[in-house]
A and B are shown apart, each in its own frame.
Chain A
Amino acid sequence: MEETMFIDPQRCIGCRSCVAACRECGTHKGYSMIYVDYLDRAETTATMPTVCMHCTEPTCALVCPADAIKMSEEGIVMSALKPRCLDCRNCVNACPFGVPKYNTEMHLQMKCDMCYDRSSEGLMPMCASVCPTGAIAFGKYEQIVPLRRTKPVNVHVFGNQHVETKVYLMLPTDADAVEVDGCGVFEGMLQRPAEERQTPTVESWIDTQVEHSDKSNEF
């Protein structure tokens, strides 16, 4: 599959259409494996979707003691295989993007599989199908990138770990990599000068709500 996903946070309107639609993919059984977060609701309405980035060397698979997480030929990192999954949650804790979740009911790790039952048959994944703005787009690099004014980036630096991904972030930047714990491309953009900020930086309760529903690491 030459197609991949392109995530453009600038375009995200926070509607969570993707989150609702993810549940509808036949094999997802009503569970959503995509997350949309407010970045800092007290300051801005900016939001960002997170899907599995489908790493070329996926950390989740590397840390799996049972070799339960397989990649397809096209480079799509699948959910854990049910007969192999040991419930250990190594993958849930190790993923640098915080993507896999542990499903307590099914005793199984679940994560975005780019709607493999759809995309392997030439249909778009659900999230990219419904996204109103193209913040999540699915297609070939040479189809999508020339249409955009943002730069495709698929290298992420987490401390000493460099991660290359099948999925691209589309960013208003010249940087070649996203440095998450250093001076990342997003850092600084949302911050206003200290004198302008009259409230201490605490999470808005809306952020907290989302944290509880989206980020609990469990279904």
Chain B
Amino acid sequence: MGKVGNLEQIVAEFGPHLHDAPHGGWRADRVIDKVVPTHCPYCAVQCGMNLLVEDNHVVGFEPRYDFPVNEGRLCPKGVTAYLQVHHPDRLLHPLIKRNGRFERATWDEALSLVAAKFKELQAAHGKDSIGVYSGSSLTTEKTYLMGKFARAGLGTRYVDYNGRLCMVSAAAGNNKAFGIDRAANPWDDIPLAEVLLIAGANCAETFPVLNKFLWQQRDNGGRWIIVDPRETPTARQGDLHLQLKPGTDVALANGMLHVIIEEGLTDEAFIAARTNDWEETRKVAARYTPQIASEITGVAAEKIVEAARLYGRAKTSMMMHARGIEHHTNGVNNVLSYINLVLATGQIGRPGSGYGTITGQGNGQGGREHGQKADQLPGQRSMLNPEHRKYVCGVWGLPEEELPQAGVSVVEMFGKMREGEIRGLLSICNNVMVSLPDTNQVRRSLEGLDFYVCIDFFMSEGSRYADVVLPGTTWSEDEGVTCNSEGRVVKINKANDPPGEAKEDWWIVQEIARRMGREKYFAFNSPREIFDELRVASRGGNADYYGISYEKIERQNGVFWPCPTEDHPGTPRLFEERFYHPDGRAKFHAVEYKPPAEVPDEEYPLILTSGRVVYQYLSGNQTRRIGFLVEQCPEPYVEIHPETAMRLKVNDGERVKVVSRRGEGIFPALVVRTIRPDTIFIPYHWGEELAANQLTNPTLDPTSKIPEYKACAARIEKIHSRRLPIMGERRKGVSRSEVR
């Protein structure tokens, strides 16, 4: 039975069930009490939306035409986001698992149990025996609180966040090259760029509303170069599609740099005045002729030359990337190789010239700024820097010797759980059984814990393994700020009270701290009070929020950090005059191509890559419960090229077994010419036996510690299934993820 207990009972009680109508049904005669301007809870475009509230219930949305980023636009997740608020699966009271069943408990009972267990484990095994695993879909106030809770509340070094699976390669690359971790340009710059180079980003499905800016650029006569192993909708719409082999980005970027140097398209004045370490990079690029790059990447040499010329000759250009290049054991190097192109052409720090990381989670940017990362303190300060430690301890009033040392990344934390070094875990805002690589290992880690407590508003596949589940709030039930992917800090507003006995996450965390005798560090009465401390804690750091206030955000439609003083308007465009290294210069990094940790061989001849679909958000704990979204994409599938399918005698729609060194899963085949013949693709939003992550490789990038989700070796086996039984269930509205 294991730690989950009775799975059928859990699914029956907590879902995912499908829900597809507003509270009280579809009605035209609503009396709307108030319209609350806020932002979407999902991706980091952080689209503005208005929530319609009737009698303390969110019953619909109205486009927020006056918010400049999206001007009313939303993707299907955003349109249906409000349906999660009064979903029948919502967790309404604390739960304690007894004899394999979750039983209703009072808050006092549950919180006292958590505090007692944490104290007991720490007394027996030391402070570091408890880990905290947080997330970036929380407001920035909460992410700040989670870091502080781990360090000042529990005194453990082990805290990390799910941006580790998302943004860390970009963050590390940015810090190395620019000395700061933030997208360099506001999106208003995109329409001004002649050429966009977009690598490893299926914007159409993962970041739909960004397409507003992309098409404005197109309407202005702009061109797109898209680097992606799949012909995604974005790649299809682009002018030049470089359909490379997964994980070969360094070779491609170096090949393009080679051509740019050969043809004299570099900006020597910019390189001389504003950068360091060019010579070494130039030498490395000299070896990557288009032919060599072509052999490694599988992209025709002529196309590499064409792309280099298009990018290199543009008077203005922007480079953007996302997980496709970052989810690799060479993730940071991939990022650096593209940044080299930006710096070599001097295309940064001006209107229409720049660089941007496309953030995954709603607060993927804000969540990586204020100290819930293993090695980070608020304001993008470092745990390793004595000055930084001293400053933050001063703000917190914490004796410096009590501040733990830097911890380790989440995948490493899960290793320490299996080794018994971490005995207890508090998690919030994540779903480890879907989103961490190598699901079977993750299960062993959770099974090995002495005590696991989850804060969540739906029972996720990960929470099922918990001993205590504490009901938190959805985004509409609390206020706070998030930072979108362009560095714009926006304000989430409260629309309704939490249902049942659900409580604000910051209240829950503080109550645990109080019961552990650490109340003096956790006396906040509102998100605003947390924000006020965060402003001071970030002051003077790279991510300086000191001059930001809730009122300024409302007044300006968001404030771009750094914003050091109260009369400072914020900083939409970075690097206009200087970079953030002490000498003010950016740094080139000479990077060599290294293949992914696992390459195809006779036993596992295909490259498996993973990603998202537009209808589901991350681990799907929210979106797999919304009828409309599940109907559009009820279950994962495996994309196979027709040539490969023919060789394996696999028909479209046939269920096949996909096997890697770590696990296997059965998925229907989607035979499409839009993927490379040597590559297969599975979307990852599902758990248990539908999890793509049963197969993926947990090997980490040595710098960023991001796992290699985007390339591992796999094979396909025929299982002689009948053609899809998918339709019948789909028509009945049953989510495949719950059919056993």
A residues touching B (Cβ–Cβ < 8 Å)?
Answer: 10-11, 13-17, 19-21, 23-24, 26-27, 29-30, 41-47, 124, 126, 129-134, 147-149, 198-199, 202, 204-206, 208-209, 212-213
Contacts and interface: CB of A to CB of B under 8 A. Distances in A.
Interface string B667-705: 010111110000000000000000000000000000000
A126 B63 CA distance: 8
B646 A199 contact: yes
A204 B75 contact: no
A209 to B, nearest CB: 7
A27 B27 CA distance: 8
A139 B287 CA distance: 53
B671 A42 contact: yes
Contact of A204 (B74, B237, B652): B652
Contact of A24 (B60, B234, B672): B60
B231 interface: yes
A131 B25 CA distance: 25
Interface in B180-231: 204-205, 208-212, 214-215, 218-219, 221, 231
Contacts of B21: 30
Given A20-B79, A44-B673, A134-B215, 7 more contacts: A13-B237, A15-B204, A131-B73, A132-B212, A206-B670, A213-B631, A213-B731
Given A26-B28, A45-B236, A212-B727, A130 B205 contact: no
A132 B73 contact: yes
A41 B231 CA distance: 11
Interface magnitude class on chain B: 35 or more
B208 A44 contact: no
Given A24-B61, A133-B212, A11 B237 contact: yes
A4 B247 CA distance: 46
B596 to A, nearest CB: 25
Contacts of A124: 63, 65, 72
B632 A205 contact: no
A142 B657 CA distance: 55
Contacts of A47: 233
Nearest to A202: B652
B70 to A, nearest CB: 8
A67 to B, nearest CB: 25
A129 B231 CA distance: 27
- Residue of A11, A13, A204, A208 with highest tally of chain B CB at under 10 A: A13
Contact of B79 (A14, A17, A133): A17
A17 B26 contact: no
A103 B178 CA distance: 59
Contacts of B61: 24
B628 interface: yes
A15 B616 CA distance: 11
Most chain A beta-carbon neighbours within 10 Å: one of B231, B643, B652, B671: B652
Contacts of A213: 631, 730-731
Interface in B696-731: 723-724, 726-727, 730-731
A199 B671 contact: yes
Given A15-B75, A213-B631, A205 B726 contact: yes
Nearest to A11: B215
B208 A13 contact: yes
B76 interface: yes
15 contacts: A13-B614, A15-B75, A16-B614, A17-B79, A19-B76, A43-B672, A129-B65, A130-B74, A131-B73, A132-B73, A132-B74, A147-B219, A199-B646, A205-B723, A209-B727
B28 A130 contact: no
B558 interface: no
A25 to B, nearest CB: 9
B677 to A, nearest CB: 11
Contacts of A26: 28, 30
Given A13-B204, A15-B205, A15-B614, A41 B211 contact: no
B290 interface: no
B233 A132 contact: no
Contacts of B76: 15-17, 19-20
Contacts of B653: 204-205
Contacts of B620: none
A149 B221 CA distance: 9
A16 B645 CA distance: 29
A27 B231 CA distance: 38
Contacts of A15: 75-76, 204-205, 208, 614
Contacts of B27: 29
A130 B614 contact: no
Contacts of B233: 13-14, 45-47
What is the predominant secondary structure among interface residues of chain A facing chain B?
loop
B642 interface: yes
A133 B65 CA distance: 15
A140 B176 CA distance: 49
A52 B221 CA distance: 30
A198 B236 CA distance: 21
B232 interface: yes
A27 B668 contact: no
Contacts of A30: 21, 25-26
B312 interface: no
A42 B642 contact: yes
A33 to B, nearest CB: 14
Contact of A198 (B643, B668, B672, B727): B643
Contacts of B232: 45
B352 interface: no
Contacts of A148: 219
B153 interface: no
A202 B723 CA distance: 14
Q: Which interface residue of B28, B74, B236 has the most chain A CB atoms within 10 A? A: B74
Contacts of B236: 44-46
B730 A209 contact: yes
A27 B30 CA distance: 11
B211 A13 contact: yes
B642 A199 contact: yes
Among A17, A27, A204, A208, the most chain B Cβ lie within 10 Å of the Cβ of A17
A124 B75 CA distance: 16
Q: Which of A24, A41, A44, A208 has most chain B Cβ within 10 Å?
A: A24
Contacts of B726: 205, 209
B74 A42 contact: no
A137 B61 CA distance: 20
A129 B72 contact: yes
A29 B231 contact: no
B735 to A, nearest CB: 15
Nearest to B236: A45
B73 to A, nearest CB: 5
B671 A130 contact: no
Given A17-B75, A21-B79, A199-B642, A43 B673 contact: yes
Given A45-B674, A205-B653, A29 B26 contact: yes
Contacts of A43: 672-674
Q: Closest 4 interchain pairs by CB?
A: A30-B26, A13-B204, A205-B653, A20-B79
B211 A132 contact: yes
B78 interface: yes
A212 B63 contact: no
Nearest to B27: A29
A111 to B, nearest CB: 17
Nearest to A10: B237
A202 B651 CA distance: 11
B80 interface: yes
B115 to A, nearest CB: 43
A198 B645 CA distance: 10
Contacts of A10: 237
Given A23-B26, A45-B231, A129-B73, A204 B212 contact: no
A130 to B, nearest CB: 4
Contacts of A21: 74, 79
A42 B212 contact: no
